[in-house]
Amino acid sequence: MPLTVVAIWRYPLKSGRGERLESAVVERLGLAGDRRWMVVDRAGQSVTAREHPRLLLVDATQEGEGLRLTAAGHGSVLAEPAAERAAVRVHSNGPLDAGLAAPEADEWLSEWVGADVRLARADRGTRRVLDPSFTRPGDSTGFADAYPVLAATEASLGRVNEWIAGGPLAAEGPLDMRRFRPNVVIAGGEPFDEDRWRRIRIGAAAFRSPKGSARCVMTTTDPDTAARGKEPLATLARHRRWDGKTWFGMNLVPDTLDAVIRVGDEVEVIEAVESADGPPRPDAA
């Protein structure tokens, strides 16, 4: 069975709800419109659903140059770009020069999460250089945690759900792919075959795979309720633990810019290693 794209997701607001697409333009920073807005505290530090799970319940859609934010029972607000700029950080990375939104969006978000926060925007001047151990000069992203694009496979999710079903926390499964917040979901192949990928092509777009994706507590949060459990981290810790981290999915860096990827595109593995025994990361960029 050939490898095929079955879903494309972008996340206009970092930690907000995903937006399912039929196609997307591939840019240097990732898919067009993906994670270009981020919640920060007054010091400019990123605020995510790790600390405030209710962010996962915020719908975000582009509206002109702004971002429409909506949450059940909280109405909506149009976040419009302001002239003010600030230095912001994605976790320990940065500082990055970013635009800020008008104060109405800050007030709306602060009430929703219960903390004093602001909304930052990655624009033409916002570039985060990637880890040179795994990438090339010029590789960059915006507000994504790690790399521009994240891919995951249905086969690997199926195996994780099998493990959960046979474990002590079976009542927490099966899990939806949305827990892992991928940009590209791929059908076909064997579970965790993506650990071996080094270069792939999706439609007309070529990508490098710098390393696998180490997973965090956000994966344990139900995207529909924001309730937090123990899976999938409990199961991944038994089956997919290396370097003190748990792994699921494969990060991608685009080599072909301005191409359009679509649901239904065939995925070609251009380069792969024979086997991946250990953390899913290549030896060189």
DSSP string, 162-226: HHHHTSTTGGG-SPPGGGG--SEEEESS-TTGGGGEEEEEETTEEEE---EEEE-GGGGB-TTT-
What contacts 11, CB < 8 A, 6 or more positions away? 17, 18, 19, 34, 35, 60, 181
- The conformation of residue 274, written as its DSSP 8-state character, comes to S
| Contact between residue 8 and residue 184 where contact means Cβ atoms under 8 Å apart | yes
Q: What are the domain boundaries of the chain?
A: 4-30+131-272, 36-125
Query: In degrees to the nearest 10, what's the CA dihedral of 57, 62, 66, 68?
Result: -30
What is residue 283's predicted lDDT score, i.e. its pLDDT? 45
Separation in Å, CA 46 to CA 89, 96, 159, 193: 6, 11, 33, 33
How far apart, in whole angstroms, are the C-alpha atoms of residue 253 and residue 218?
Answer: 22
pLDDT for the residue numbered 276: 66
- The string of pLDDT tens digits covering residues 48-87 is 999 999 999 999 999 999 999 999 999 999 999 999 999 9
Cβ atoms within 10 A of the Cβ of 65, count?
10
DSSP SS3 for 242: strand
Separation of alpha carbons 211 and 11, rounded Å: 21
Residues of the chain with pLDDT under 70: 276-285
Written as six digits, the tokens of 234 are 């409990």
Is 122:38 a contact under the CB 8 Å cutoff? yes
What are residue 89's DSSP bridge partners? 45
Distance CA 194, CA 114 (A): 39
Helix (H) or strand (E) holding 154: helix 154-165
CA distances to 49, 57, 76, 119 from 72, in Å: 17, 8, 9, 19
* d(C-alpha 181, C-alpha 116), whole Å: 26
What pTM did the predictor assign? 0.94
**Do residues 88 and 100 touch, judged by C-beta distance below 8 A?**
no
**Nearest 5°: phi and psi at 7?**
-160, 145
- CA-closest candidate to residue 118, choices 102, 108, 106, 126: 106
Comparing C-alpha atoms, which of 87, 1, 8 is closest to residue 41?
87
pLDDT of residue 271: 95
* pLDDT value at residue 284: 39
- The fold adopted by the segment(s) 4-30+131-272 is M1 Pyruvate Kinase; Domain 3 (2.40.33)
The pLDDT value recorded for residue 279 is 65
What pLDDT was estimated at residue 171?
98
